[in-house]
Amino acid sequence: MIAPRPASSAPAHTLPEDFLLLKQAATDAGSLALSYFRRELAVKRKIDGSEVSEADLAVDAALKRALGGGRPSYGWLSEETEDDANRLERRFVWMVDPIDGTNAFLRHVPEWTISAALVESGKPVLGIVFNPATQEFFHAVRGEGAFLNDAPIKVSDRSGLEGALVIASGGLFKKRIWKTPWPEVKSRWVNSVAYRLALVAAGRADATLSLSAKSEWDLAAGVLLVEEAGGTVTDHHGHAYRFNLPVPRFPSLVAAPPRLHAKLLERTSRIDL
């Protein structure tokens, strides 16, 4: 059950109402995205060199109609929409990656997700990560826990690095940046950052680690999932994230159960990117 917002600070819409809107929008967007999956699509290169397809743009437009139209007083931040600085003045902001893992999507790999969150005063309060290809629907509500297809989930109980399954680039642990060699860890690559965080939240991986910059729309929903599942998420220096910044970027990502997270920070905090 989703607790209502305190009456003294309640906006026109309640948190349960916002969740129902977000859930329906993500479900509909998932069906739309799936209709494009494993088809030949029109693809362009963005300024940063990443790919964007007609599916990304269609799903983004559908989510903006549903979420932005349903809550016109809320701000909007999406990978595929030109940023509007007015969001900085809004208490509530939708943060959306319409297809997180476009590379996987275009190569017909079922490791892409729709990632959407509602941020209130810099903190995610609702988050959904939906993989339509596998029908995995992860959601979290601040203070109410994290769920996969409505069943409660939690992070793993792993506390040490030896034998841990870390979602990261396989070559990351062999780079010369590390002060000391890593113990034997298992690595797996997943293109969608939001999906990586969801898998950590569900205990299907022990951690995820990235030393490359991430955007707020990459992380907002997944960060809430991991935190509500009992994990810890920061950048590689241990700094917590605050969302809805003028430049919506973070330098890195470390997500894991608390004791394992501390072990990861012992290594990553020594690095200057």
State the DSSP string of 55-109: HHHHHHHHHIIIIIHH-TTSEEEETTS---GGGGG-SEEEEEEEEETHHHHHTT-
Q: Predicted confidence band at 7 (pLDDT cuts at 50, 70, 90)? A: very low
Segment 53-73 shows an average pLDDT of 96
- pLDDT tens for 163-206 read 999 999 878 998 889 988 999 999 999 999 999 999 999 999 99
Q: Tell me the CATH number at 75.
A: 3.30.540.10
For residue 159, tell me if it sits in a domain. no
pLDDT at 99: 97
Q: Which residues contact 197 (CB under 8 A, 6 or more apart)?
A: 129, 208, 219, 221, 222, 223, 225, 226, 233, 255
> Is the confidence at residue 257, as pLDDT, over 80?
yes
Residues 198, 128: one domain?
no
Residues 144, 169: one domain?
no
pLDDT at 2: 64
For residue 195, tell me if it sits in a domain. yes
Number of domains the chain contains: 2
pLDDT at 8: 41
Q: Predicted confidence band at 4 (pLDDT cuts at 50, 70, 90)? A: low
For residue 91, tell me if it sits in a domain. yes
Last residue of a domain, one of 90, 121, 152: 152
Residues 190, 217: one domain?
yes
pLDDT at 170: 77
Q: Tell me the CATH number at 262.
A: 3.40.190.80
Last residue of a domain, one of 152, 182, 202: 152
pLDDT at 103: 93
Segment 52-66 shows an average pLDDT of 96
Domain carrying residue 91 = 10-152
Residues 189, 116: one domain?
no
For residue 160, tell me if it sits in a domain. no
For residue 17, tell me if it sits in a domain. yes
pLDDT at 1: 58
Last residue of a domain, one of 101, 121, 152: 152
Exposure string for 163-184, b = 16+ CB within 10 A, e = fewer: ebbbbbbeebbeeeeeeeeeee
